[in-house]
């Protein structure tokens, strides 16, 4: 690697941003982290961390001073329960954050700018069955993105393209597919399915029933956080400028996910389906053909391995907070 670039990570107080900072510092970069809040579960390893609200243009300029590269992760977001019920707040906040962040990057002479988009940009009409065809990058058009969060991401992808062609700012765009791992939100309403399921299984006793959103047959693919941060860094280093999927292509149903976590926990778990809860698209998978071509690499952590680490971390957090009794957590009493 060349001498330490000075790198800004926005959203460095959040799940992926926090891990990305750790990765970049470990690989020799000088990192400034910025977020509206500090990381919740572990101190940052960034050389500098500033608490700034990036909806304000002045703060975007402050964040950008002296930076060579920017990883733009800051966003008001959450799992399907959150994004389906906070559409105005999400599009307002993320439009302000993203436009002002890229404009400040341009005006402050940043060389490379990576924007974190989402599989939510893909059209609903391609995600109607559980055994869905994996989504290729070009499938995003004709557009019919998730209405709110997804449309804002798709719009910002276009903004990146225009800033590159009109102003010469080197932009990179990554589309994440369900990133999971330790230090991610696991309760409070913004959590996503792997973390929510780990929490529910940890808080259940053997042979208890947990609530599953929808009929459990909806499908997704899941990518472990260590693969995610390595992938983002690799993409920043390539000359590939179009949006690129970052995920795995192993399709599993929510029922499968519950069964895997139950096996990890060593509990027989029963499922009760709540069809009134949001469940998002019926099926979604990542086509990694282009990812392999561009990077000669793809995420490799097996789901069982990543979930075991995630389950351990979440159950430990719950234990520390005194939220598990001997009924759910006999190991704590008889280790
Ligand atoms: P996260 O919510 O943990 O992190 C986002 C961070 O942005 C939070 O720490 C939040 O405080 C910060 N933020 C929000 N508003 C801000 C503001 N006004 N000013 C400064 N900071 C602000 O989410 P994450 O999972 O780490 O996601 C990181 C990025 O990746 C986001 O852009 C998200 O949309 C995208 N993404 C994530 C996933 C996933 O599976 N986790 C999937 C698709 C896309």
What are the pLDDT digits (tens) for 266-320? 999 999 999 999 999 999 999 999 999 999 999 999 999 999 999 999 999 999 9
**pLDDT in the model for residue 330:** 80
d(CA 184, CA 182) in angstroms, rounded, equals 5
**Structural domains of the chain ordered from first start:** 6-180+222-246 (3.40.50.720), 193-220+250-328 (3.90.25.10)
Residue 1: pLDDT band by 50, 70, 90 thresholds? very low
Position 335 pLDDT exceeds 60 = no
- The closest-lying atom of ligand 1 relative to the alpha carbon of residue 190 is 2
> Which of 299, 304, 193, 169 lies closest to 244 in space, CA to CA?
299
**pLDDT in the model for residue 4:** 61
**pLDDT in the model for residue 5:** 84
Position 323 pLDDT exceeds 60 = yes
Residue 172: pLDDT band by 50, 70, 90 thresholds? very high
**Which residues are CB-contacts of 225 (< 8 A; sequence separation ≥ 6)?**
15, 16, 19, 179, 180, 181, 182, 183, 184, 306
d(CA 307, CA 304) in angstroms, rounded, equals 5
Q: Which of 23, 71, 122, 149 is catalytic?
A: 149
* 329 CA to centre of ligand 1 in angstroms: 32
Residue 329, helix vs strand vs coil? coil
Known catalytic residue at 273: no
- The closest-lying atom of ligand 1 relative to the alpha carbon of residue 178 is 40
d(CA 245, CA 137) in angstroms, rounded, equals 7
What are the pLDDT digits (tens) for 113-142? 999 999 999 999 999 999 999 999 999 999
What are the pLDDT digits (tens) for 178-223? 999 999 999 999 999 999 999 999 999 999 999 999 999 999 999 9
Global model pTM greater than 0.85: yes
């Amino acid at each position: 690697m060349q001498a330490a670039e000075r790198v800004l990570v926005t959203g460095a107080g959040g799940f992926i941003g926090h891990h990305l900072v750790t990765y970049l510092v470990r690989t020799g970069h000088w990192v400034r982290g910025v977020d509206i809040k500090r990381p919740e579960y572990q101190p940052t390893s960034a050389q500098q961390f500033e608490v700034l609200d990036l909806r304000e243009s002045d703060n975007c300029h402050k964040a950008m001073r002296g930076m060579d590269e920017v990883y733009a992760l800051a966003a008001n977001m959450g799992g399907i329960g959150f994004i389906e019920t906070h559409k105005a707040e999400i599009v307002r906040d993320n439009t302000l954050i993203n436009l002002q962040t890229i404009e400040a990057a341009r005006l402050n002479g940043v060389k490379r700018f990576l924007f974190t988009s989402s599989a939510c940009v893909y059209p609903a009409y391609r995600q109607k069955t559980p055994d869905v065809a994996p989504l290729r990058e070009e499938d995003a058009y004709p557009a019919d993105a998730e209405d709110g969060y997804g449309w804002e991401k798709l719009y910002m992808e276009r903004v990146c393209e225009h800033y590159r062609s009109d102003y010469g700012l080197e932009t990179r765009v990554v589309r994440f597919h369900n990133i999971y791992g330790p230090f991610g939100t696991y309760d409070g309403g913004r959590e996503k399915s792997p973390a929510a399921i780990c929490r529910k299984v940890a808080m259940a006793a053997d042979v208890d029933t947990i609530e599953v959103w929808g009929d459990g047959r909806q499908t997704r693919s899941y990518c472990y956080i260590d693969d995610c941060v390595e992938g983002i860094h690799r993409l920043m280093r390539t000359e590939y400028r179009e949006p690129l999927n970052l995920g795995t292509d192993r399709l599993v149903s929510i029922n499968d996910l519950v069964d895997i976590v139950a096996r990890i926990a060593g509990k027989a778990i029963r499922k009760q389906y709540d069809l009134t809860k949001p469940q998002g698209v019926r099926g979604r998978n990542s086509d990694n053909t282009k990812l392999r071509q561009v990077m000669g690499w793809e995420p490799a952590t097996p789901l069982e391995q990543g979930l075991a680490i995630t389950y351990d971390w979440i159950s430990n957090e719950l234990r520390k907070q005194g939220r598990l009794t001997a009924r759910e957590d006999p190991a704590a009493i008889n280790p």
